[in-house]
């Protein structure tokens, strides 16, 4: 007996869940500032799907367990169905974005060590930054937090090195994790110019969603440049 697929549509992706697996289709839409700024461009979904595919494969090769199974078509990845942990885990190597409101350091300066931040995914509260005590209120244990933070820092090491080799600085990024059916914590969601700050190493120019957020130029060109470089990452 096959069960009916369950479909969730978000701002950037459609998830079609079929039993233990899910098809994650990347949309061409582009949103920022909690959906207040919207646009789209042809090919954006395919670019983000390919970048996520390459980077998840790279992480798997280096021993990080992710939800990736395969790429079904240009815009669709097949992934393991996870029970998502309601956290956004942000890792930062440089000063940018919301960190500017928390530290007296110059924009685009390098941090002396990576910073990990946790945000509780909740629309009503507007995804507030939380610590491990708050997380316990939501049933996320300290052990789970420390496992997630260790994994996020490992992802940071692998991606920083790989992207550096193609002239990209990984300024910061956001990850999401979930439980697989066997209870293991796997890296889920996506890794793309929507969820990372990628800067050209020579000029510090953005190759990511900041181009759209702050009208810094041709966003399609920026995403394509990120993809073309990431295709050359040696894995």
Residues that bind ligand 5GP (CB under 6 A): 88, 90, 96-99, 172-174, 194-197, 209
- Give min distance, CB of 3 to ligand 5GP, in A: 30
5 vs 10, beta carbon nearer ligand 5GP = 10
Residue 48 CB contacts under 8 Å (≥ 6 apart), including other chains: 12, 26, 190, 192, 193, 194, 223
21 vs 225, beta carbon nearer ligand 5GP = 225
80 vs 174, beta carbon nearer ligand 5GP = 174
81 vs 174, beta carbon nearer ligand 5GP = 174
Q: Strand, helix or coil at 64? A: coil
List C-alpha distances in Å: 140 to 38, 63, 88: 33, 24, 13
Q: What is the 3-state secondary structure (H, E, C) of 127-187?
A: CCEECHHHHHHCCCCHHHHHHHHHHHHHHHHHHHHHHHCCCEEEEEEEECEEECCCCCEEE
Q: Name the residue with the smallest CB distance to ligand 5GP.
A: 97
- Give min distance, CB of 98 to ligand 5GP, in A: 3
- Give min distance, CB of 215 to ligand 5GP, in A: 16
Cα angle: 231, vertex 35, 138; to 5 degrees: 90
In 10 A of CB 160, how many CB atoms? 17
- Give min distance, CB of 146 to ligand 5GP, in A: 20
- Give min distance, CB of 192 to ligand 5GP, in A: 8
20 vs 113, beta carbon nearer ligand 5GP = 113
């Amino acid at each position: 007996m096959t069960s009916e697929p369950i479909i969730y549509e978000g701002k950037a992706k459609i998830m079609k869940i079929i039993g233990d697996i899910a098809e994650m289709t990347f949309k061409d839409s582009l949103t920022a500032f909690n959906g207040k700024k919207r646009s789209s461009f042809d090919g954006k979904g395919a670019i983000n799907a390919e970048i996520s595919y390459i980077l998840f494969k790279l992480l798997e090769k280096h021993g990080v367990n992710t939800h990736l199974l395969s790429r079904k078509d240009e815009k669709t990845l097949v992934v393991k169905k996870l029970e998502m942990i309601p956290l956004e885990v942000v890792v930062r190597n440089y000063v940018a974005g919301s960190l500017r409101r928390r530290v007296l350091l110059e924009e685009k300066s390098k941090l002396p060590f990576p910073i990990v931040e946790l945000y509780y995914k909740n629309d009503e509260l507007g995804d507030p930054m939380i610590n491990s005590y708050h997380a316990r209120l939501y049933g996320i244990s300290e052990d789970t937090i420390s496992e997630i933070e260790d994994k996020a820092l490992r992802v940071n090491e692998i991606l920083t090195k790989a992207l550096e080799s193609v002239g990209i600085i990984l300024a910061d990024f956001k990850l999401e994790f979930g439980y697989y059916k066997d209870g293991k914590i796997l890296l889920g969601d996506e890794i793309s110019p929507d969820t990372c700050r990628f800067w050209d190493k020579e000029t510090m120019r953005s190759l990511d969603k900041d181009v759209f957020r702050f009208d810094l130029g041709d966003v399609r060109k920026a995403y394509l440049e990120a993809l073309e470089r990431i295709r050359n990452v040696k894995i």
